[in-house]
Amino acid sequence: MVKRGDCQLKKIQAIIRPFLLDEIKIALVKVGVMGITVSEVRGFGRQKGHTEPLPHSESTVKFLAKILIEIVIKDEQADRVVDTIIAAVRTGEIGDGKIFVSPVEQVIRIRTGEKNLDAI
């Protein structure tokens, strides 16, 4: 039986600038990801949605359009996927985005009933 919590998979969530989506898609397919989910999202980071560092007196907060990319991948491939994302989208300017990596408890491929490593 497949134990829950022993899935050997990671979820990578990357929040990036919208215009870089095509670039990242091509790079990720090249490193062998099996699927990608993309959403249009809005968010802010440390500059509260401003494109310059905020003076302390400034208090307005703006949401900026971003793209959220979600990928579930084998543990051992996670570092490579993270490096690929960074190489594709990093400009060195504020607002380059953020990557969150977390463990996945269970994956089920609906059509076949396969689970976890067999299901991605």
- Contact residues for Mg ion (CB under 5 A)? 45-47, 94-95
Cβ-proximal residues to 38 (8 Å cutoff; 6+ apart), any chain? 21, 67, 68, 69, 70
105's tokens: 């408890």
> Among 96, 101, 104, 114, which residue sits at the site for ligand ATP (rule: CB under 6 A)?
96
Cα–Cα dist 42/94, whole Å: 16
Cα–Cα dist 37/69, whole Å: 6
Q: Which CB sits closer to ligand ATP, 56 or 111?
A: 56
Partner from ligand ATP, Mg ion, none binding residue 114, C-beta < 5-8 Å depending on class: none
Residue 44 lies near ligand ATP (rule: CB under 6 A): yes
> Among 85, 95, 116, 119, which residue sits at the site for ligand ATP (rule: CB under 6 A)?
95
Residue 62 lies near ligand ATP (rule: CB under 6 A): no
